[in-house]
Amino acid sequence: TLGVTETVKDDLNPIWTKFFNINYELGKLKVINVGIFDKMKDGETDKTMGSAAFEIGDILGSKRNITAKRLRNGGVLFAKVRHVPRADGDLYIKLRGFNVKNVDRGFLRRGKSDPYFEISYLEDDSAGWTPVARSKKISHTLNPCWKPTEVALDRLCDNDRDKAIRITVLDHERSGKHQLIGSVEATVNT
């Protein structure tokens, strides 16, 4: 077993931030099996939603190094592979918000946002932003103070401290349709 991703709650289109390091030798067959599970309450067995087998060489030979597989019970699973240079340190970041935009008015317009943040890198091939870290939501606040987050620089910016990164703050919604509060683009050096 390579490992387990974080649980993404209430989202039928999850984007996981967990990366797995795989040693791959060009020309050698390397297959990984990815299983998807619905996380149940403590003490209950997680429900299997489907699985797919991916061959690393096939993914590397595909457009943007992404391959999709249909799951038998519905849905599509995407796998992406990228070469990551050896780590050149970590970004240690502590984020706090003051009077963030309230996008969750709720009943009688008295609700408050449930903010969380994502840290993303920009794909080299213009495929967009890919999240590499996600905080836990903090319920009902416009002044969040999140726990410190540590991200390896090889995952975040390929050790290029001048490469663009994005920090996005969102309001968590049970429906999975999280609302944008705001975002900022920067580099590790700025």
Q: What is the DSSP string of 121-176?
A: EE-TTS--EEEEEEPPP-SS-SS-BPPPEEEEHHHHHTT-TTS-EEEEEEE--TTS
DSSP 81-107: ----PPP--EEEE--B-SS-------G
The secondary element (H helix, E strand) that includes residue 116 is strand 115-122
Which tokens belong to 152?
Answer: 């390896």
Determine which of 25-29, 44-48, 128-132 has the lowest per-residue pLDDT on average.
25-29
Mean pLDDT of all residues in 138-161: 90
Joined tokens for residue 24: 């791959």
Digit-coded pLDDT (tens) for 22-40: 877 777 888 999 999 988 8
Residue 62 token pair: 């595909």
Residue type, 34: V
pLDDT per residue as tens digits for the range 54-106? 998 898 888 888 899 998 888 899 998 877 666 678 888 999 999 998 887 66
State residue 63's pLDDT score: 86
The mean of the pLDDT values for the chain is: 86
pLDDT at 165: 93
User: Hey, CA dihedral for 84, 87, 89, 94, is it positive or negative?
Assistant: positive
